[in-house]
Amino acid sequence: MQIAVVGCGYLGAVLSAVLAEQGNSVIGLDVDDMRVSQLNSGIAPFYEPEFDSVLQQSISSGRLSFTTNAEKISDAEIVFICVGTPQSQNTNAADLSQLWAAADAIAPHLAPNAIVVGRSTVPVGTAAKLESRINKKSGRKYSIVWNPEFLREGLAIGDTRTPDRIVIGTNNDFAENKLRELYAPQLAKQIPMLVLDVPTAELVKVSANAFLATKISFINAIAEVADLTGADIVQLADAIGLDSRIGRKFLAAGVGFGGGCLPKDIRAFIASSNELGSESINRLLSEVDQINLGQRDRVVNLAREILGEVKGKKIAVLGAAFKPNSDDVRDSPALEVAHMLHRLSALVFVHDPKALINARAKFPDLNYQTDLNQVFKDCDLVLHLTEWQQYRDLDPDQLRTLVDKPFIIDGRNVLDFAAWRNAGWQITGLGKRD
């Protein structure tokens, strides 16, 4: 099929490459010249496992290219809108300006039978507004479909090829059939497709992210009780997670969630629910947000407890990305903690296998190190805040020789506590005992 993807950030670039890999002819449209030329040269503008090779193969096949010229979408049978919907500068609400700009850019060039499919994360009711805007600008009648994405950074290629489910919001049979045709490879793998009305499809996405965020803050709240009672949060999560109604995933207590999605999505959900007059979401998700941000303070307070005064102390921070296998530092708990300690006049040295360029651009005042031994050398405290495999594989015996004061806080509760203790380290987690 002829496909256009509008907005070639994380979501759009990955979707374009995978749809081309599956045999479609895809044009990616973006306003950023530099990004478009990078992508056309097969260079990934962000770190994502497997993405480079899928991108390069799709480009070499001749089925994928990128452009800044909106006229090029005129042959597309399906036009996906994948632009960013970040948090507004001064409020919690989603900033939809990229969505409106995309609508205005494509409306005059849409083929008469084109199907416009929204994929960005938006407040419920946005599709209806987008539809009237596109119809007004184009002078035609398009019915907008909502097809939310659920991909995770670090696992984006696999999640796009084989998602847990496909959600389509539409009441238009022609559009539904076109999307069934496009998603035939997924449907052949028995991946469930749910065809819903448009507001339900929009709400599915924000609800899914809100639930995931709630699960994390729930376990972090219990971790606080675990710390006060000598219970172990990891063993507890294993035990409650074995209940199939609860499940073990997203019960990893620690420094909390970050990234470009969960934090801004729960805030946008609070803002849009307030507008609609629903108070419950506000009460629930405001707590989720507060508990999450409080985890960053907990790590800083633990550091202060261990060190007494943090001023002038050398603190090694392992991790800058908001999660492993990503170079994304948006709302990264690790970097925020590093920055908070820097503001308390600690000498903070940050290491990350992939995210240092982005981290430096965000917090130029922190010290960044690519050599792990240098980060550890003579430090007063180590904070493990992003659980890259490389950190799990560290050798505590060898690292013990580099420091006089062997203190480490495992802000992700994944290190082998016994091995670190046996090597002479004093190791502390968040709600974790052993």
Active site members = 261
Using CA atoms, how far apart are residues 310 and 294, in angstroms rounded to an integer?
19
Question: Which region, judged by CB under 6 A, interacts with ligand UGA, from 71-79, 250-258, 311-319, 420-428?
Answer: 250-258
335 binds ligand UGA (CB under 6 A): no
152 binds ligand UGA (CB under 6 A): yes
If the CB atoms of residues 81 and 151 are measured against ligand UGA, the closer one turns out to be 151
Question: Least distance in Å: CB of 123 to ligand UGA?
Answer: 14
Question: Least distance in Å: CB of 96 to ligand UGA?
Answer: 15
Q: Which of 73, 78, 117, 261 binds ligand UGA (CB under 6 A)?
A: 261
Question: Which region, judged by CB under 6 A, interacts with ligand UGA, from 182-190, 224-232, 251-259, 309-317?
Answer: 251-259
**Binding track, positions 343-372, relative to ligand UGA; x by CB under 6 A:** ------------------------------
Binding residues for ligand UGA, rule CB under 6 A, total: 22
Question: Which region, judged by CB under 6 A, interacts with ligand UGA, from 17-25, 57-65, 258-266, 307-315?
Answer: 258-266
Question: Least distance in Å: CB of 28 to ligand UGA?
Answer: 18
24 binds ligand UGA (CB under 6 A): no
323 binds ligand UGA (CB under 6 A): yes
**Judging by DSSP bridges, how do beta strands 166-169 and 193-196 pair with one another?**
parallel
Question: Least distance in Å: CB of 224 to ligand UGA?
Answer: 14
Question: Which region, judged by CB under 6 A, interacts with ligand UGA, from 51-59, 102-110, 143-151, 185-193?
Answer: 143-151
The contact set with ligand UGA (CB under 6 A) reads 121, 149-153, 209, 212, 216, 250-252, 254, 256-259, 261-262, 265, 322-323
